[in-house]
């Protein structure tokens, strides 16, 4: 949660930057080795939703931004955040997506993401979701699910107002698309999301998702 190397925070916005990782040890706020000064590490119990909630609870700013470790924010991101959250009826926002690799299929995926997030108002967690901490607390934070926590968070937010996607793009690693192939990865992800929205148990989806990634690790 916050910014990582390569981002360009503007002095107009005071930022508090946290990283979270799963540990069985006591919580810590030690500096993260290799990251800029001011970035702090929080150790939390495992689980992505639990980790993000843990970091959000300890943040004392008015606005929360959830950034994946393999994703880089654009220059001037703070202005985009402030402008988006000032829009009428807007309760949260996200950035457009750019995948860090060449390929016509990846450009099609980016355009599909742009349509889903801008036209349908449904961005995912890899687009650096942001919102006021007050709203986050009111809806109970990320639901404690083994998977699809970002999808469910956005569903809750959409019931309260608009989720606005700004034109500026975050840059995310292409690793997950390269490992299985862009088309196959996209189809599998959409199948998992469709299953969740149809009422399939998140635990079952998580097991299938983990099994798929375990098989890929074995192949590697």
Model confidence at 15: pLDDT above 80: no
Q: Cβ of 102: how many Cβ atoms within 10 Å?
A: 8
Residue 11: the pLDDT is 32
Taking the CA atoms of the chain, what radius of gyration do you get in angstroms?
A: 17
Question: Is the pLDDT score of 130 beyond 60?
Answer: yes
Structure confidence at residue 24 (pLDDT): 41
Please tell me the distance from the alpha carbon of residue 152 to that of residue 169, in angstroms, as a whole number.
23
pLDDT at residue 3 is higher than 50? no
What are the pLDDT digits (tens) for 73-88? Answer: 999 999 999 999 999 9
* Model pLDDT, residue 46: 83
- What is the CATH T-level fold of the domain 17-175, as seen in this structure? Spore Coat Polysaccharide Biosynthesis Protein SpsA; Chain A (3.90.550)
User: Mean pLDDT across the stretch 105-124?
Assistant: 96
Distance CA 63, CA 135 (A): 9
Confidence of residue 25 (pLDDT cuts 50, 70, 90): very low
Question: Residue 134 above 70 pLDDT?
Answer: yes
Average pLDDT, the chain: 84
Contact criterion met (CB below 8 Å) for 75 and 8: yes
**In which band, very low, low, confident or very high, does the pLDDT at 9 lie, cut at 50, 70 and 90?**
very low
What is the per-residue pLDDT for 176?
87
pTM (global) more than 0.75:
yes
Which secondary-structure segment (H or E) carries 52?
A: helix 48-58
Which pLDDT score is estimated for 139? 97
On the question of pLDDT at 92 being above 90, the answer is yes
What are the tens digits of pLDDT across the range 49-68?
999 999 999 888 899 999 99
Note the pLDDT tens digit of each residue in 141-173.
Answer: 999 999 999 999 999 999 999 999 999 999 999
pLDDT per residue as tens digits for the range 184-216: 999 999 999 999 999 999 999 999 988 876 655
| pLDDT over 50 (residue 13) | no
Pairing of strands 17-22, 63-65: unpaired
Helix (H) / strand (E) element for 157: namely helix 149-160
């Amino acid at each position: 949660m916050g910014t990582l190397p390569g981002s360009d925070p503007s002095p107009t916005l005071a930022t508090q930057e946290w990283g979270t990782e799963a540990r069985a040890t006591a919580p810590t706020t030690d500096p993260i080795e290799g990251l800029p000064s001011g970035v702090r590490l929080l150790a939390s119990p495992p689980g992505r939703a639990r980790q993000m909630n843990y970091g959000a609870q300890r943040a004392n700013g008015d606005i929360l931004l959830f950034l994946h470790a393999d994703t880089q924010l654009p220059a001037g991101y703070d202005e985009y955040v402030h402008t988006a959250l000032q829009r009428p009826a807007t309760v949260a926002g996200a950035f457009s997506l750019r995948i860090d690799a060449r390929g016509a299929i990846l450009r099609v995926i980016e355009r599909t993401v742009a349509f889903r997030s801008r036209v349908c108002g449904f961005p995912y967690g890899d687009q650096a979701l942001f919102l006021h901490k007050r709203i986050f607390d009111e809806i109970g934070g990320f639901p404690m699910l083994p998977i699809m926590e970002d999808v469910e968070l956005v569903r809750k937010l959409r019931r309260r107002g608009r989720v606005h996607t700004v034109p500026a793009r975050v840059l995310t690693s292409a690793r997950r698309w390269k490992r299985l192939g862009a088309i196959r990865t996209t189809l599998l992800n959409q199948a998992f999301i469709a299953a969740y929205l149809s009422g399939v148990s998140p635990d079952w989806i998580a097991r299938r998702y983990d099994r798929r990634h375990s098989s890929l690790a074995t192949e590697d």
